[in-house]
A and B are shown apart, each in its own frame.
Chain A
Amino acid sequence: MSILLILFCVLAAITLSTAFLTIFSRNPIHSAIYLVICFFSIAGHYLLLNAQFLAIVHVIVYSGAIMILFLFTIMLMNLNKENEVHKPRITRLGALVSFCLICLVLIAIFINSKPIVGEYITTGEDYQSIKVLGKILLNEYMVPFEFASILLLVAMIGTVLLSKKEKLQK
């Protein structure tokens, strides 16, 4: 068992357990903090796969921007109380059963999908440094890149419009 495999197992255990804790903890603030740990461990997976730039972007976007947004929303709504009414028991049981069934089906689909070749290809060329990614992003994927900027602009306008306080009607 190589050290990389051990590292992968530890990271996977952290990812899965914090994802479960995100769902099961009663307090939304605790959920958000567990989710931050989950995102950091996924960034660790990216580092393990040697995708450094993606790991950095993941930490900045998810753990930085999105989770801060979540935390601020939770604090603005003053939801850090543990008074949530649970769903009826039959619904929770149904959720559990469907979770188990979906897991079973997907794993059963993919359990025989091991690649036929024993060794994975190694081209040896650099394909995931910032330089290469930037070239691909701004040459081949130029149009989707611009559309992503338009999407972010529209999302920003929509957010401002939605969260603006409505004027009282007279």
Chain B
Amino acid sequence: MNNILNQIGIENYIFLSIILFCIGIFGVLYRRNAIIVFMSIEIMLNAVNLLFVAFSTYHQDAQGQVFVFFSMAVAAAEVAVGLAILVSIFRNSGSISIDNLKNLKG
């Protein structure tokens, strides 16, 4: 069984994950639509998961992949709660622009 990283190299995965993570950051900063901001957060989570799996192959160890499962569970919970919050914001203010959220009062 040949290690696949012999032909691709771990550094290519590192660079891919970095660029994907930065795209996520860029999306959070660039867009106003809260749903797109959520999608950017998903992109960031996926970049980290990809790096976990790459290093799990690098060390030939399954624990990285187990961690990815937990991160997926947390991502699913986060998306469900976040979208519910978005729906209730939409009901109250009629739009989901994140700039509307600055007139929240405690």
On A, residues with C-beta under 8 Å from B are 2, 4-5, 8, 12, 15-16, 19-20, 22-23, 28, 31-32, 35, 38-39, 42, 45-46, 48-51, 53-54, 57-58, 61-62, 65-66, 69-70, 73-74, 76-77, 79, 84-87, 91-92, 94-96, 98-99, 102-103, 106-107, 110-111, 113-115, 119-125, 127-128, 132-133, 136-137, 140-141, 144, 148, 151-152, 154-156, 158-160, 162-163, 165
Contacts and interface: CB of A to CB of B under 8 A. Distances in A.
29 contacts: A5-B7, A8-B8, A20-B23, A23-B27, A42-B49, A45-B50, A45-B53, A49-B53, A61-B76, A69-B79, A76-B87, A84-B33, A87-B31, A96-B26, A99-B25, A113-B11, A122-B60, A127-B62, A133-B65, A133-B66, A137-B66, A140-B66, A148-B69, A148-B70, A151-B73, A152-B73, A155-B78, A159-B80, A162-B88
Contacts, number: 222
B53 A19 contact: no
